[in-house]
Structure 1
Amino acid sequence: MKIKEVIALLEELAPLPYSEDFDNTGLLLGDQNANVSGILVTLDTLENVVDEAIEKKCNLIVSFHPIIFSGLKKITGKTYVERVVQKAIKHDIAIFSNHSALDNSWNGVNAMICEKLGLKNRSVLIPQNETIKKLITFVPSKDAEKVRNALFAAGGGDIGNYENCSFNIEGRGSFKGNKDSNPVIGKKGEIRFEEEIQIGITFSKHLQTTILKALFETHPYEEVAYEITTLENQNQHLGMGMIGELDKAMDEEEFLKFLKETMKTDCVRHSAMLQRPIKKIAVLGGSGSFAIDAAKNAGADAFISADFKYHDFFKAENTVLLADIGHYESEQYTKDLLHSFLKKKITNFAVLLSQINTNPISYL
């Protein structure tokens, strides 16, 4: 198996086009056409993680966080980032990261937090914008079913919990080929009227290349008439953070103790108690202060995230319990998610879980 084939599998879980603009995801180091000898899955790529990959004969590191976040102008070994890059290149080890793409995935980082806390009735906290596209095309009536089914097979027509969704309008199309044309129906130089069906489907933006390939391969016309637009409709399964509910409400102190134990953190920094039960909970792995208002607007009793600053806690305004469990702690189960996903997909070589704790913060 080649590195690009592993990346294709990982994109089934978290397509890279849904990464945030600020992020640096994808293959950061290495040749995508290289054969994979083994995969090491980690939360962060540090020097000792590269050493672990060397020892275990893994030439691909799948790392949630990207080791290269901003541009490198020099690689002299002065910083930990430069030393990681140097060592990985020296030992021909590739590094891949899917960071915010996995943050935005329905089955990604925040789903793992919800699973650990036992949250039900989940929904996305902050849906990502402009992720749904619409295709309209015009097909001869006798070919409409073939084209429509090809578009469905390519992933088109999925809306929430429904598949094979389309809208179809019967009509008459007209065309006249010029001297350089090779019409499948009619003759060049003559105007032709044809009974056609206008097919309309929606699809996720990362599928556009696949959708167009299916359209061109099955449409009978020499020139395929189609249009693609971007919709403002929200994608209910894509975005930052999640919100869900506990089976049974807890009082605040009980909830905070449950949170500390379940998320294996030495410290939960929280805002003032609200003196009310906790049942509806918003979560966002990593730095989540930007989502405090979203959690409040969603009616959350508590919002669990990390990296809250002093003034962020004032934003609770006695309407929500803010709980900062630590950046690493909020994302610690992510590498288990990636490891489990790849183990199910790949059976012909080793997919190993890094045994190194990369948390840079210690508590006294």
Structure 2
Amino acid sequence: MTVQEIATILEELAPLPHAEEFDNVGLLVGDHKQEVTGILVTLDTLEVVVDEAISKNCNLIVSFHPIIFKGLKKITGSTYVERVVLRAIANNIAIYSMHTALDNSKMGVNAKICEVLGIKNPKILIPKQGTIKKLITYTPLEAVDTVKSALFQAGAGEIGNYSNCSFSTDGTGSFKPGDATNPSVGNIGQVHYEKEAQIHVIFSFEKEKAILDALFTNHPYEEVAYEITTLQNVNQDIGMGMVGVLESEMQETEFLRHLKKKMNASVVRHSELLGKKVKKVAVLGGSGAFAIKAALKSGADIFVSSDIKYHEFYQAEKRLVIADIGHFETEQFTKDLLVDYLIKKIPNFAISLSESITNPIKYL
């Protein structure tokens, strides 16, 4: 398999357009066409990880965090980033990063935290805005089923666990073909009236090109009338963080001990305990202070994340408990998630879980 074929599989789980605008995801080092001998999955790509890939005959590193986050003006080996890139290139090792594309996946980082902590029925905490679009097009009645089927095949009409969703209404369209046209119906120079259906379908924004290709390929008209609008509807499948419920409620201290054990945390920094039971839990892997208000709005009893600053703990407002277990700790199981996913997709391929410890923070 090539790097591109592996990337396509990974993007089924976490499409790159779902990443945040500030991020740097996808293939960062290497050639899309390169044949892959083995895959090493890691949280961070450091020099020790590249050496591990070499020893395991893996020429593709799938990393959660991007090794190149900002543009490099030179690559001389003066920083750890430059040294990693140089060593990877010298050994023909490609590096692919997923980061916030996987953060925003309903089966990604936060789903894994929920699984580890035993949080049931998780839903997206902060849905990503502007990700749902609507296509309206006009089709002659005899072509409705063909066009709709093609749009559905391209990914249109998916709402939650439902597919092939659409709305149609019948009417009459009119047009006058010009001299340079080649109309499928009607005559040049004459106004034509055609019984048509107006078709409405929604779709996730990253599928727009595929859906338009399907529309143009399967629509019988030479000129296809259509319009696309961006909706403000909440997208339940894309976004940061998750919130769900425990199977059985716990005392706050009991949950914090459960959290520390399950997430292999050396320490749990938390806001003031409120003396109430914990049932509803919000989580967000990585730096999550920006989600405190969303956790409050969700009615969560506790919010689990990391990188919470001193004054940000006050935002708990004595309405929930904020628990900071560390950046690495919230994301550490991400590589297990990716290995399991890849093994299911390509079971007979060489896929390795990195054994390198990449957490830069140590505890005394």
Q: Which residue is 1:7 aligned to?
A: 7
1:1-364 equivalent positions in 2, closer than 5 A: 1-364=1-364
Once the two structures are superposed, residues 132-157 of structure 1 have per-residue CA deviations (whole angstroms, 9 ceiling, x without a partner) of 00000101100101111111111111
For structure 1, list consecutive stretches of 5 or more residues without a partner in the other structure.
Answer: none
**TM-score, normalised to structure 2's length?**
0.98
Once the two structures are superposed, residues 19-74 of structure 1 have per-residue CA deviations (whole angstroms, 9 ceiling, x without a partner) of 11111111101111211111111100000100111111111110000000111112
1:185 alignment partner AA? V
**What is the alpha-carbon distance in structure 2 between the residues aligned to residue 181 and residue 347 of structure 1?**
52
Q: CA RMSD in A?
A: 0.9
**What is the alpha-carbon distance in structure 2 between the residues aligned to residue 55 and residue 88 of structure 1?**
13
**What is the alpha-carbon distance in structure 2 between the residues aligned to residue 279 and residue 55 of structure 1?**
46
**What is the alpha-carbon distance in structure 1 between the residues aligned to residue 30 and residue 134 of structure 2?**
36
| Aligned structure 1 segments of 4 or more residues deviating by more than 6 angstroms | none
**What is the alpha-carbon distance in structure 2 between the residues aligned to residue 295 and residue 65 of structure 1?**
25
C-alpha displacement of 1:278: 0.7
Instruction: State the aligned residue count.
Output: 364
**TM-score, normalised to structure 1's length?**
0.98
**What is the alpha-carbon distance in structure 2 between the residues aligned to residue 249 and residue 75 of structure 1?**
53
Once the two structures are superposed, residues 332-361 of structure 1 have per-residue CA deviations (whole angstroms, 9 ceiling, x without a partner) of 110011111111111343111111111111
Given that 2:343 and 2:349 are in contact with CA atoms closer than 8 Å, whether structure 1 keeps it comes out as: no
Secondary structure at the residue paired with 2:212? Answer: helix
1:114 alignment partner AA? C
**What is the alpha-carbon distance in structure 1 between the residues aligned to residue 114 and residue 349 of structure 2?**
31
Secondary structure at the residue paired with 1:243? Answer: strand
Secondary structure at the residue paired with 1:347? Answer: coil
- Of stretches 348-357 and 165-174 in structure 1, the one that deviates more from structure 2 is 348-357
**What is the alpha-carbon distance in structure 2 between the residues aligned to residue 8 and residue 296 of structure 1?**
37
Q: Among the aligned pairs, what percent are the same residue?
A: 61
2:170 alignment partner AA? E
C-alpha displacement of 1:84: 0.2
**What is the alpha-carbon distance in structure 2 between the residues aligned to residue 348 and residue 106 of structure 1?**
26
**What is the alpha-carbon distance in structure 2 between the residues aligned to residue 74 and residue 160 of structure 1?**
46
**What is the alpha-carbon distance in structure 2 between the residues aligned to residue 340 and residue 161 of structure 1?**
23
Given that 2:283 and 2:303 are in contact with CA atoms closer than 8 Å, whether structure 1 keeps it comes out as: yes
C-alpha displacement of 1:161: 2.5
**What is the alpha-carbon distance in structure 2 between the residues aligned to residue 111 and residue 349 of structure 1?**
25
1:85 alignment partner AA? V
1:293 alignment partner AA? K
2:335 alignment partner AA? K
**What is the alpha-carbon distance in structure 2 between the residues aligned to residue 347 and residue 255 of structure 1?**
37
Given that 2:173 and 2:195 are in contact with CA atoms closer than 8 Å, whether structure 1 keeps it comes out as: yes
**What is the alpha-carbon distance in structure 2 between the residues aligned to residue 213 and residue 136 of structure 1?**
15
Secondary structure at the residue paired with 1:215? Answer: helix
For structure 2, list consecutive stretches of 5 or more residues without a partner in the other structure.
Answer: none
1:162 alignment partner AA? Y
- Of stretches 177-186 and 62-71 in structure 1, the one that deviates more from structure 2 is 177-186
Once the two structures are superposed, residues 167-204 of structure 1 have per-residue CA deviations (whole angstroms, 9 ceiling, x without a partner) of 10101111121111111112222221111101000000
**What is the alpha-carbon distance in structure 1 between the residues aligned to residue 18 and residue 295 of structure 2?**
21
**What is the alpha-carbon distance in structure 2 between the residues aligned to residue 249 and residue 311 of structure 1?**
29
